[in-house]
């Protein structure tokens, strides 16, 4: 508790304002990882910065209805391309909050870079002076691995592989509005393996499948035997764990028009699943050499 005795009301209100602002700032979530590309920079008050500010302030209004956002602002060397993608199992309020946070924080972390990407657990944001839509060129991979190993590595890998291959096919065939899939399978020692995969929906079925195949094939190299892991790139990602980390819902992946009959909204848990105590991850980044 804070007590100010004998101080003017204006000073007290000023103090409370500072305290509440700082508390709000500290409460903001951190990115799982962010990357500031240094290939091209912009200067303060330049046209590119003005276009970037306009783009990121307008981007949250471009939702395709399933958590995918994209917007381009400007022309020539001052063009700003942006995309954002929310995880397919979260509700719209959480999606919007995640995007609002990321558009502020990524500019703070990358104050003069023309290209940047930030990964939250619930969403990602990328902007660039280069084309982004349907661009499958991977510059870098973000790897996150659970610190625990399976007691039966061969059996675990044998159960995980078919699950992720199935999810890859389901997500790739998801249509132009959402490419997202979750499922689970039995693992060794009476465990259950849960998996999630997602692509940005601007990718074609083949592009999504190839992107997921590329990152899933890296499991043997980086996660062999780990009971959980994920790889993030801007256009696709996967995650698997031996606990349920995604929300269960009855949401059906949409297909192109004509739209299906109206359905009741999915019933989502009041709060997302929480990692069990003692589960830790380590993070590292890999750069693709072309």
pLDDT digits (tens, 9 = 90+) for 41-55: 999 999 999 999 999
What is the spatial distance between Cα 179 and Cα 80, in angstroms, rounded to a whole number? 25
**Better pLDDT: 259 or 9:** 259
pTM: 0.78
* Position 259 pLDDT exceeds 80: no
Q: Is the pLDDT of residue 9 over 70?
A: no
Average pLDDT value for residue range 241-251 = 81
- Tell me the average pLDDT across 203-227: 96
Per the model's pLDDT, the better-predicted residue between 63 and 278 turns out to be 63
Sheet containing 229-233: which strands, arranged edge to edge? 179-186, 192-199, 236-241, 229-233, 140-146, 281-287
| Across 33-43, average pLDDT | 94
pLDDT confidence of residue 245: 96
The sheet carrying 123-128 orders its strands as 33-41, 113-119, 123-128, 80-86, 68-73
Q: Where would I find the H helices in 173-223?
A: 205-216, 219-222
User: Confidence band (pLDDT; 50, 70, 90) for 145?
Assistant: very high
């Amino acid at each position: 508790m804070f007590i100010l005795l004998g101080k003017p009301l204006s000073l007290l209100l000023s103090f409370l304002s500072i305290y509440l602002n700082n508390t709000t700032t500290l409460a903001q979530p951190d990115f799982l990882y962010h990357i500031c590309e240094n290939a091209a920079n912009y200067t303060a008050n330049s046209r590119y910065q003005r276009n970037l500010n306009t783009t990121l302030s307008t981007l949250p209004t471009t939702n395709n209805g399933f958590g995918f956002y994209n917007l381009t602002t400007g022309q020539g060397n001052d063009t700003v391309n942006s995309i954002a993608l929310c995880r397919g199992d979260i509700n719209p309020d959480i999606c919007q909050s995640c995007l609002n946070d990321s558009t502020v924080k990524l500019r703070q972390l990358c104050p003069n870079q023309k290209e940047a990407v930030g990964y939250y657990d619930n969403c990602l944001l990328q902007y660039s002076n280069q084309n982004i839509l349907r661009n499958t060129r991977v510059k870098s991979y973000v790897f996150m691995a659970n610190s625990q190993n399976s007691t039966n590595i061969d059996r675990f890998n044998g159960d995980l592989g078919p699950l992720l291959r199935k999810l890859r096919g389901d997500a790739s065939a998801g249509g132009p509005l959402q490419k997202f899939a979750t499922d689970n399978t039995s693992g060794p020692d009476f465990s259950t393996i849960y998996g999630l995969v997602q692509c940005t929906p601007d990718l074609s079925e083949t592009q999504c499948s190839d992107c997921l195949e590329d990152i899933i094939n890296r499991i043997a190299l980086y996660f062999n035997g780990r009971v959980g892991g994920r790889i993030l790139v801007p256009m696709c990602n996967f995650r698997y764990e031996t606990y349920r980390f995604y929300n269960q819902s009855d949401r059906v992946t949409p297909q192109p028009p004509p739209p299906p009959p109206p359905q009741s909204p999915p019933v989502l848990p009041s709060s997302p699943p929480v990692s069990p105590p003692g589960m830790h991850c380590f993070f590292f980044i890999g750069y693709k050499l072309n």
